[in-house]
């Protein structure tokens, strides 16, 4: 019984330490810093695809003279 209690305490302790570690590592400031150190840069120009196909890309030929 005593051994189980000791094990529970130990696991609770480890859980606490891991939770604190997650909080520290999950901080956006840290992630941002880490990303910069890895050479990642922010996207300056985001392009969105539209559902409507541009005329120039249409395969169907347009009837001339209209």
Partner 1 sequence: MFSNWRINFLLVFFILGGFLVIGRLFFWQVLSFDELTAMAEGQHWILFEIPAQRGEILASDGSPLASNEEAFLVFASLPDIKDDYNELAEKLAPILEPENVATMASLIKERLSRQDLVWVPLKHKVSRQGKSQIEGLKLSGIGFEEEQSRSYPEGSSSAQLLGFVGNDLNGHEKGYFGLEGYYDLELRGRPGMLQREKDAAGKPILVGEIKKEKERQGRTLVTTIDRTVQFIINEKLKEGLAHYGAVSGTVVVMEPKTGAILGMASLPNYDPGKFFAYDKSLYSNPAVALSYEPGSTFKVLVMSAALNEEVVKPETRCDKCTGPRTISDYTLKTWNEKYFPNSTMIEVIQHSDNVGMVFVGEKLGAEKMYSYLQKFGLGQPTGIDLEDEASPKLRPRNEWKLIDLATASFGQGIALTPIQMIRAVVAIANGGKLMKPYLVKQVISEGEKTEIQPKTEREVLKPATTSIMTEMMVNAVDNGESKWAKPKGYRIAGKTGTAQIPVAGHYDQEKTIASFVGFAPADDPKFVMLVLLREPTSSPWGAETAAPLWFDIAKEIFTYYGIQPG
Residues that bind partner 1 (CB under 8 A): 16-17, 20, 23-24, 26-29, 32, 43, 46, 48
Q: Which is nearer to partner 1, 23 or 59 (CB)?
A: 23
**Which CA distances in Å does 56 have to 46, 49, 59, 60?**
22, 15, 8, 10
**Closest Cα to residue 4, out of 19, 30, 12?**
12
Cβ 19 to partner 1, closest distance in Å?
Answer: 8
Q: Which is nearer to partner 1, 7 or 27 (CB)?
A: 27
Tokens 């209690």 correspond to: 5
Q: Which is nearer to partner 1, 7 or 18 (CB)?
A: 18
């Amino acid at each position: 019984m005593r051994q189980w209690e000791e094990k529970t305490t130990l696991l609770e302790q480890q859980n606490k330490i891991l939770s604190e570690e997650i909080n520290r590592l999950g901080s956006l400031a840290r992630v941002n810093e880490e990303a910069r150190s890895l050479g990642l840069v922010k996207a300056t120009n985001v392009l969105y695809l539209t559902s409507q196909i541009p005329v120039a890309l249409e395969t169907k030929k347009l009837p001339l003279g209209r």
